Structure 1
Amino acid sequence: MQSRHSVVALLVLLLGTCALGAKLEQVHIAFGDTPSAMTVMAASDAMPAAATVLYGTSATALNMNQPASDVRFFTAGNELGLQYHLVFKLQKLVPDTLYFYQVRTDTNATAVFHFVAQNDNLDHPANFLVYGDFGLPKGGFTLPRLVAETKTGKFDAAIHVGDFAYDMFDHNGTRGDNFMNQVQQYAAYLPLMTAVGNHETAFNFSHYRNRFAMPGNGAASDNMYFSWDMGRAHFIAYSSEVFFTNGPVQDQYNFLKQDLIAANANRAERPWIIAYGHQPFYCSNLDHDDCTTSRSVVRAGLEDLFFEYGVDLVIEAHEHSYERLWPVYNETVTQHDYINPRAPVHIIAGVAGCNEGETTCINPILGSKGPWSAFRTAFLGAYGYGRLEITNSTHLHWEQVLDITRTDLDQMVIVQENHGPYKPL
């Protein structure tokens, strides 16, 4: 099999784009409904008469094709943006195999990109880039780091924990187009798995619902809640925004409960359960957000469920700061280490670089720490992202990388030998 590390040398030959007609851009991929599937998306400014993905294991022989399974058209908050979003579902991929692909319509074609199909080896140490609250230009500190990390071939996916572009609908949708063209630099090569944030709520989440295509096991959730597997971990994406937008709170709760029941039945194979959603349960910030209060509606809606079914790690964002918590439940810290935690561990990773007001977007945490706060950023310029490794059935490793130094700001290892529902405190 051709090594994923040899791909960079080939790219010099493949960067040309066949510009023949309507625009065709914003290419990105995501894990599909099964481990042997991959979803490809692209955007156009016109309805194509035909659209397909050509793909294969050789860059010079794209001998398989997959027609579009869906063309999404939307104009709400997107009057000047590209309004046709194409979805292609590649199936029956060979695990851990390098594939090259190109999106084609009847009038245009993209450059040739590549990805590695999902590794089905449970003992493969799975690695992820993790971040939230990412817009440009302030996210310009993080963007080149994500691109460079992707080129190493080490990572299996990127996880964006809500708040995109600031905002997708700005300038009648052209900001969303510009943002997706920038993240194409890594998201066309590395599956981009998402969660919805509060900056996606406009026009009934139209940009988020139409620009992404996550696994469909959340039924009609439109990317709002769903789950997927990788290595020894089961991942669950949920919406914190249902609690603030008259959203389907009960529908999501029912999905999460059934998904967690199934995940617990499968813990011999995938012992780690990792949930990720935008707004935190707890935080040390002083901005009067939901997580700063003892009456957090997100925490009231989900904390008991996550404790009952033994969620190991909860990754959040929203606060433009980084904070790592001790294992905590019901505002009670169970211990001051990560050896066999007796409650979920939370990480707030909202420092990728937002773009609110076209200005600096880091909020130092200046107030007193909550008793559950183990580490937090208290300075400007702490832009960065996380590296998450599911090492094996018992060990999980987290690093928070500081953009300006390209070094670790923080590290954590969770050792859990007793995966499963937590015992009552």
Structure 2
Amino acid sequence: MKKGTVLAALLPLAAAADDDAANSQIRIAYHGDDGMMVSWNTFDHVARPSVFWGRSKEHLVNVASSAVSVTYPTSTTYNNHVLIKGLKPDTTYYYLPAQLNEDVCYEPFNFTTSRKAGDKTPFSVAVVADLGTMGARGLTTSAGTGVSGNNVLKPGEKNTIDSLISNMGGYEFLWHVGDIAYADYWLKEEIQGFLPNTTVEEGYKVYEAILNDFYNEMMPVTASKAYMVGPGNHEANCDNGGTADKAHNMTYDLSICMPGQTNFTGYKNHFRMPSDVSGGTGNFWYSWDSGMAHFIQLDTETDLGHGFVGPDEVGGTEGEGASPVNGKMNAQIKWLEADLESVDRSRTPWIVVGGHRPWYLSHENVTGTICWSCKDVFEPLFLRYGVDLVLSGHAHVYERQAPIADLKIDPRELDNPSSPWYITNGAAGHYDGLDALQSPRQAYSRFGLDTANATYGWSKLTFHNCTHLTHEFVASSDDAVLDTATLYKKRRCVDGGRGGGRW
């Protein structure tokens, strides 16, 4: 939304400003190794969002400010974004946004900046996909009609957000590769009798309440750990949990689509990813370095025949709701090749790619789960530039595959393969959130969990050195590691000059 735009067309923000949105939904994101983006929400527009910061919580002697306080029609909050610059890599800082809820007494928060590229210290990161709201408006011990008992929590069972919070000391940042909050499930939850019915006109309050719940629940993690995100189909378009057509006998009835549900509008308002550092595009495709790894976030929802359903094809609303690709159909692929070409493998030997939709998976493609167009455009570049690991979600299952190239299993498996290693983990959890793997599984499948196992969980990546990378599936219920595997790459662990992106 352009600066100075009149917001008179917005529904009153106070209408849904209840105690569930009382905390400020703080979330941070890396901006290179010398910056951190701080984002938070307020009920009112902030003319000059500001963040006080310093090396100790008693001396917040610095201030960073911006003019970015944005919203969209029917949103119940404004999203404020401030970049803190001039920081040192791998250093802890304390900070406090100036315009927080006056009814809450906040202590200064803290974060640690990204490791400098080339730092060979071992480290771990947490990865999720398809993670939604927990509790009374999301995943809990009950659900509506037609939901499998395997897809709800047992009484007293920890959920994935609980597990991420309790394990914060074990990872450096959280990477969420698409499908965030599942606020567009509001209609599905009402139709199934899980939530009380409301009118179409009042539906935005339910949508925003679910969204606010999620960011509130995540804040213990996202206020101190960089929260790096990518787009999924639930950020892209309006399908109301797949029920819009059933409820209204049409594919997309605009009268039940919140503005935040269409054309990535809510996603673009809530986040500021470091695309300007890497030459990417908004929150859609970008990359960043940390220690011995180069991370790439891709967009599987645009530029490849997905997303932009109905009115989104014409670019949506002006400003924050505008099309991220502006019709440039090869923009992402050209950027990806240039990014991979520029990777210095002597400094960041590992290349890890995240994108929402998979193309290698033991899952029937009845609802477009398998993204063959993604394979067609991305896989040749992954092979050419020696990508090590590809992470995805979308299917609400966990499956670790063998390294694969063009549907062929790499004969060396995890012992110095020349093909990328593929892992899909969409089992983080949300309302009714587990699917089934097909049986028998594909020949390249090495381990799988699905609704039959009634297990939610997240991924943990550990970079030991330049040759060994371990992936673990962590069960949210008890933090047990249910699957672990280590990838070995034969290469020399040396510092030095620019190595180039090609193998």
Q: Same fold (TM over 0.5)?
A: yes
Tell me the SS of whatever aligns to 1:282: coil
For structure 2, the 5+ residue unaligned runs are 1-20, 141-157, 187-202, 238-261, 309-324, 493-500
- Residue equivalent to 1:6: none
Tell me the SS of whatever aligns to 1:213: coil
Deviates more, 1:399-408 or 1:342-351: 399-408
Q: Aligned pair in 2 of structure 1 residues 169, 252: CA closer, same or farther (>3 Å)?
A: farther
Tell me the SS of whatever aligns to 1:258: helix
1:363 to 414, 435, 447: 435
Matches within 5 A, 1:334-413: 334-335=410-411, 337-355=413-431, 359=432, 361-378=433-450, 379-413=452-486
Please list the CA deviations of residues 57-114 of structure 1 after superposition, one character each: whole Å capped at 9, or x if unmatched: 2112211111125222322xxx1421x2111111111222221111113984854211
Q: Aligned pair in 2 of structure 1 residues 64, 339: CA closer, same or farther (>3 Å)?
A: same
- Residue equivalent to 2:244: none
Cα distance, 1:30 vs structure 2: 0.5
Cα distance, 1:117 vs structure 2: 1.9
2:161 to 129, 140, 143: 143
Please list the CA deviations of residues 264-291 of structure 1 after superposition, one character each: whole Å capped at 9, or x if unmatched: xx11111111110000011101352445
1:131 matched to 2:125? The reply is no
Could you tell me how far apart the structure 2 residues matched to 1:384 and 1:128 are?
Answer: 14
Cα distance, 1:169 vs structure 2: 8.8
- Residue equivalent to 2:24: 25
Segments ≥4 residues shifted beyond 4 Å: 106-111, 168-171, 418-422
For structure 1, the 5+ residue unaligned runs are 1-21
Could you tell me how far apart the structure 2 residues matched to 1:330 and 1:106 are?
Answer: 51
- Residue equivalent to 1:14: none
Whether contact under 8 Å (1:51, 1:106) holds in the other structure is no
- Residue equivalent to 1:245: 307
1:115 matched to 2:121? The reply is no
Whether contact under 8 Å (1:23, 1:44) holds in the other structure is no
Please list the CA deviations of residues 356-375 of structure 1 after superposition, one character each: whole Å capped at 9, or x if unmatched: xxx3x111324211121111
Tell me the SS of whatever aligns to 1:228: strand
Q: Which has the larger radius of gyration?
A: 2
Tell me the SS of whatever aligns to 1:241: coil
Could you tell me how far apart the structure 1 residues matched to 2:434 and 2:468 are?
Answer: 31
1:284 matched to 2:341? The reply is no
Whether contact under 8 Å (2:120, 2:291) holds in the other structure is yes
Q: Aligned pair in 2 of structure 1 residues 305, 415: CA closer, same or farther (>3 Å)?
A: same
TM-score, structure 2 normalization: 0.72
Whichever residue aligns with residue 215 of structure 2, its letter is M
Cα distance, 1:224 vs structure 2: 0.4
Whether contact under 8 Å (2:274, 2:286) holds in the other structure is yes
Report the structure, 1 or 2, having the larger strand content.
1
2:41 to 40, 43, 54: 43
Please list the CA deviations of residues 329-362 of structure 1 after superposition, one character each: whole Å capped at 9, or x if unmatched: 110111263011110000101111022xxx3x11
- Residue equivalent to 2:17: none
- Residue equivalent to 2:85: 91
Deviates more, 1:188-197 or 1:166-175: 166-175
Tell me the SS of whatever aligns to 2:24: strand
Aligned length: 386
Could you tell me how far apart the structure 1 residues matched to 2:216 and 2:442 are?
Answer: 40
1:231 matched to 2:291? The reply is yes
1:300 matched to 2:376? The reply is yes
Whichever residue aligns with residue 278 of structure 1, its letter is H
Cα distance, 1:213 vs structure 2: 0.8
- Residue equivalent to 1:15: none
Tell me the SS of whatever aligns to 1:26: coil
Whether contact under 8 Å (2:49, 2:67) holds in the other structure is no
Q: Aligned pair in 2 of structure 1 residues 258, 231: CA closer, same or farther (>3 Å)?
A: same
Whichever residue aligns with residue 389 of structure 1, its letter is T
1:208 to 244, 250, 267: 267
Please list the CA deviations of residues 165-212 of structure 1 after superposition, one character each: whole Å capped at 9, or x if unmatched: 112695423322221111111100100011110000132101111101
Q: Aligned pair in 2 of structure 1 residues 329, 107: CA closer, same or farther (>3 Å)?
A: closer
The percentage of counterpart residues that share the same residue type is 27
Could you tell me how far apart the structure 2 residues matched to 1:106 and 1:157 are?
Answer: 24
Please list the CA deviations of residues 144-185 of structure 1 after superposition, one character each: whole Å capped at 9, or x if unmatched: 1101111x2x32110001001112695423322221111111
Q: Aligned pair in 2 of structure 1 residues 239, 141: CA closer, same or farther (>3 Å)?
A: same
TM-score, structure 1 normalization: 0.85
Whether contact under 8 Å (1:167, 1:200) holds in the other structure is no
Could you tell me how far apart the structure 2 residues matched to 1:177 and 1:99 are?
Answer: 27
Whether contact under 8 Å (1:80, 1:174) holds in the other structure is no
RMSD of aligned alpha carbons: 2.3
Tell me the SS of whatever aligns to 1:327: strand
Cα distance, 1:219 vs structure 2: 4.6
Whichever residue aligns with residue 144 of structure 1, its letter is D
Whether contact under 8 Å (1:363, 1:380) holds in the other structure is no
